[in-house]
Structure 1
Amino acid sequence: MTAISKTKFGFTKLIVNDEEAMADYYCNVYGLNKIQRVQTDDSGAGGAIREVILGHGDTMAGETLVMFKFLNRTPPVEQEVILGFITDDLDALAQRVIDHGGKHVDAIKSMPEHGVRVLFTTDPEGRLSENVELIAS
């Protein structure tokens, strides 16, 4: 078996229709910051793109979430990814989702046998997120 060089998780890219509006949503709901914007006609991903890179700091030193827009094609219609967020206050996050145009899929579920409270939400373009608050068992 060939050894794999050490790697770490770096980023997730959501293919969106409106990268600025979606960046605002994720910043307002999850407390992320807009770190950098990229626009190029030759992205290596099949054409022109724009993206807004989000993170918890003000540099790209940690994991990032990227709002990625193909300029010459529409985003996928089917759910391609479920984002997972961990929060200390699920009730406050649930309100921010509503305040910024997202929706709750169902009510908050308490799952003490798994040590969590869970709320699935959708962003304004319909992408699914699973939001988890860790609870003492």
Structure 2
Amino acid sequence: MTDPRPTGSNHGMTYVFAKTFVRDLDAMAKFYEDVLGLIPNNRHQDQMFGREIDEITYQASYPGGPALTLISYVDGNAPAAGESVQGFITTDLEAACARALAAGGTVPEPIREIAEFGLKVAFIIDPEGRINEVIEMLNA
């Protein structure tokens, strides 16, 4: 796919994924796979803001393209329709968190390592409350 739009970013940041909250993860997975042709890459259970989550990440549609993740709170209390999580990769997670705090954002949980995926992760909340998941690959 040839894309004429210019590319680039600052601070070693790369936008790589979006997460969309759903209520019924399995039903919505079937919809996105059957209707939009997405191909599952992995399924992962974890915690986010002290709540259990279940999520399915799909393959990028083209080399280097962003990936979509469908995410659900296990307790069934989903955010309002339309809420999402934007995903970024950085080469310096600590510096990204420091920039967020200096700019009026919050980092509600400490940076943590997820060995299963070889990464460190932090959630950066913008001043209006939107969630940005920022990861740093280990040994990259």
Smaller-chain TM-score bracket: 0.3 to 0.5
TM-score under structure 1 normalisation? 0.46
TM-score under structure 2 normalisation? 0.45
Q: Which has the larger radius of gyration?
A: 1
